[in-house]
Structure 1
Amino acid sequence: MTTVPPPRRVAPTLEAVAAEAGVSRSTVSRVVNGSNQVSPDVEAAVHAAIERLHYIPNRAARSLANNQTMAIALVIPEDTTRFFGDPYFAAIVQGITRGLDESDYVLTLQVAQSHPREKTMRYLAGGNVDGAFVVSHHSGDLFPGSLASSMPVVYGGRPLRPDDPPAYFVDVDNVAAAERGTQYLINKGRTRIATVAGPPDMPAGLDRAAGWSAAMAAAGLSTERIAYGDFSLASGARAMRELLDRFPDLDSVFVASDLMATGAIQVLLERGLSVPGDVAVMGFDDSPAATSGTIQLTTVHQPSEAVGAEMARMMLALLRGEPVEHRRIMETHIVERDSA
């Protein structure tokens, strides 16, 4: 027995909306494209007709009319393993998506690994997007800055090489936040405080190490107990092993991300050390990784989702041609749990 498929629903056209609203096709087109040359009453009638007919504007046609793609790229200069394995990125993307919800813009993802970055650059510079968000950039990532002359670029985190004019970015004060997290350990009576720092070619890695160093120096404590990771769990474990081999007397560790702190705790427990009894651990992010293990992380909270939403707000204002401050610094605070 042959099954006859149901008839395909014909999408309503611009002409159908015009007939429903009792106006011309050009008037509907002006309303759809955001023109201010339409009276409020007529605009309301067109929107009501659109709603009744469930009309969806043709994005390609709107792009041609506005000379815009209605797309914004999210550029992550990392490998896919890091992007999909770090909850920080999920929070940033969720915030950006929430910030774009009320607009007509769509988000396109570009995970720009080291070798195909030229391909990403060609795509971005080829008129395929109206702007770009850049998150997790490194000192060698020069291509995002070169885009600023052709489109708005908003960074998640301060760039190491500010553009001219200054780059637009949303961040936290990583130096002050790390200093506060380290001071928390000092206030708990810890004196042999190590750090697992982030990559020295990234602003967050540099700034959090600087904050730890500043707090230690102010307290007259040694700043020799330092090892480096790449913000991943595996690198946190590797750096913790290095620290314990070099400094078996350490009594606490400030770790520049929750994922690295999770790896560090695993190594401490493997070595037969108690947390926080023998070694207190302070993380950074307050991501889901902070509460995913058997020992809940005391950590520096940064509002990653709010950072993403603020990046979206900044981008939309730039695309509208509105004046925008070049930087927005969000607040941080310490969340006390079990590890310190």
Structure 2
Amino acid sequence: MMNTSPPRSPRRTASRPSPTLEDLALAAGVSRSTASRAINGGDRVSPEAQAAVERAVGDLGYIPNRAARSLVTRRTSSIALVIPEPDVRVMMDPFFAVVITGITEALRDTDVQLVLLMSRADDDASRTLRYLRGGHVDGAIVVSHHEADSWARSLAQTGLPTIFIGRPWDTASDVTYVDSDNVGGGRLAARHLVGLGRRRLATVAGPADMTAAVDRLRGWTEGLAEAGLPASPVVHGDFTTEGGAAAARRLIAEHPDIDGVFAASDLMALGVIEALQAAGRTVPGDIAVIGYDNHAVAATAPTPLTTITQPMVGMAVRAGRMLLEEIEAPGSHPEPVIYPTELVERASTAVAPTASAANA
């Protein structure tokens, strides 16, 4: 309701140089509550009062108090990126930098801030869930989750808008996701190596408790079956360079005649190449190697890496925008989005197989 008393000039003191909500109300000639409603959406504010407040905001250079505003709008203007991985892996794996870049791009034209939460152990997980339930953020994006991360499934029960990057284990819930065609990517890798004449194949799969690794292994196995080849030896790694190298050492010890390896991430593929070369094997002369992700490191490695590409920046941007849509329209639950994968051929598979491989 309009204040009938004439407007008074806002008081300024050396101790309070910035205009307050009271100053704004005085300058606009309205009550404090009307000024508050006017700057927080205009609910139950007359056009005249709204115009008066907007003029006063411009005249005073008033900046709303974000904490006070959140009491009215019930919004924090923050979203969480939840990564249930050790700090060291998050800092070392370029995958996570790409995800953060994409989400930040999605938020570029908004006032929404990104909060990074890394949850590793059970106590961290419960603390993370309490934080997410506590009204500190308007929504969450979860990436690199594991089957044992039960708290991730619990998010669907909190009502907090949530988007997964990567297919969640529990697809029956209302939680939606953005992913690449990991099954199709694994199939592409098998077809490529088979097409090169490689027949004694092996794979370094990712962790068995992650859906991306499970789906890539499934596609790889299906691709071999299509070519009439038996299931290949499988060693699981942890998506790191060290894990890939350890898996490669085990493979060549147990299967010294292999002539092609598919690693379910670029970092593991680089570790495979290092281990093979340290053992005196040439890449791709003796053993062709293909990775997955198409990170920048794949193209700049000493042996440039053939890989399966997934548009991670685009996927992260899409996840961020989907979350903003869900926050604005709670319960809308956007449909899952699956991006296609492609093969990028480089030197690690570029030459013909050895004579023994071609005659096998």
Scaled by the length of structure 1, what TM-score is found? Answer: 0.88
Pair 1:319-2:327 in alignment: yes
Change in 2 beyond 3 A, CA 1:212/1:51: farther
Q: How far is 1:267 from its partner?
A: 0.7
Residue aligning to 2:346: 337
Aligned counterparts, 1:10-159, within 5 A? 10-14=17-21, 29-30=36-37, 32-35=39-42, 55-115=62-122, 116-150=124-158, 151-159=160-168
Give the gaps of 5 or more residues in structure 2: 1-13, 350-360
* Cα drift, residue 329 of structure 1: 0.8
CA deviation vs aligned residue, 1:30-82 (integer Å, no higher than 9, x gap): 45424477799997997787577654332101111112222211111111111
Distance in 1 separating the partners of 2:25 and 2:343: 57
Distance 1:181 1:282 in 2: 7
What CA distance in whole angstroms lies between the structure 1 residues aligned with 2:155 and 2:315?
A: 22
**Paired letter, 2:335:** H
Q: Is the 8 A contact 1:132 1:154 kept in 2?
A: yes
After superposition, the C-alpha distances for 1:170-213 in whole angstroms (9 at most, x for unaligned) are 00110011111221111122111211100111000100000110
Q: CA–CA distance in 2 between the matches of 1:287 and 1:45?
A: 53
SS in 2 for 1:132: strand
Which residue of the partner structure matches residue 285 of structure 2?
A: 277
SS at the partner of 2:157?
A: coil
Question: Aligned runs of 1:233-248 on 2, under 5 Å?
Answer: 233-248=241-256
> How many corresponding residue pairs?
333
Secondary structure of the 1:149 match is helix
More off after superposition, 21-30 vs 83-92: 21-30
Question: Would the alpha carbon gap of residues 130 and 55 (structure 1) be closer, same or farther in structure 2, given more than 3 Å must change?
Answer: same
Distance of aligned partners of 1:196 and 1:20 in 2 relative to their CA distance in 1, 3 Å threshold: farther
Matched, 1:218 2:226: yes
2:180 maps to 1:198: no
Deviation sequence 1:194-240 (CA, Å, 0-9, x none): 11100111000100000110000110112232111010111000011
RMSD (Å) for aligned C-alpha atoms: 2.6
| 8 Å CA contact retained: 1:145, 1:163 | no
SS at match of 1:242: helix
Cα displacement (A) at 1:324? 3.9
How far has the Cα of 1:277 moved from its partner? 1.4
Paired position in structure 2 for 1:328: 337
Give 1:291 deviation, angstroms: 2.8
For the residue of structure 2 that corresponds to 1:148, the secondary structure is helix
Q: Distance in 1 between matches of 2:31 and 2:60?
A: 16
One-letter amino acid matched to 1:68: R
Whole-Å separation in 2 of the counterparts to 1:184 and 1:44: 65
Q: Is the 8 A contact 2:266 2:295 kept in 1?
A: yes
Equivalent residues of 2:177, 2:337 under 8 A apart: yes
Any idea what SS the aligned residue of 2:179 has? strand
Whether the 8 Å CA contact 2:175–2:333 is kept in 1: the answer is: no
Give the letter for the 2:169 counterpart. Answer: L
| Residue deviations 1:65-106 (CA, integer Å, cap 9, x gap) | 112222211111111111111111111111111112222222
Letter in structure 2 aligned against 1:169: Y
Bigger shift: 316-325 or 186-195?
316-325
Matches within 5 A, 1:181-196: 181-196=189-204
Contact 2:203 2:232 in 1 (8 A): no
**Structure 1 residues 53 and 75: alpha-carbon distance in aligned structure 2, compared to 1, 3 A threshold:** same
Distance 1:221 1:37, change over 3 A: farther
Query: Are the equivalent residues in 1 in contact too, given 2:239–2:264 (CA < 8 A)?
Result: yes
Structure 1 stretches lacking a partner, 5+ long: 1-6
Q: CA deviation at 1:21?
A: 7.9
Amino acid at match of 2:90: F
Change over 3 Å in CA distance of 1:41–1:257 after alignment to 2: farther
Letter in 1 for 2:243: S
State the identity %: 45
Amino acid at match of 2:259: D
Residues 91-134 of structure 1: per-residue CA shift (max 9 Å, x gap):
11111111122222222111000232111122222222222111
Worse overlay, 201-210 or 281-290: 281-290
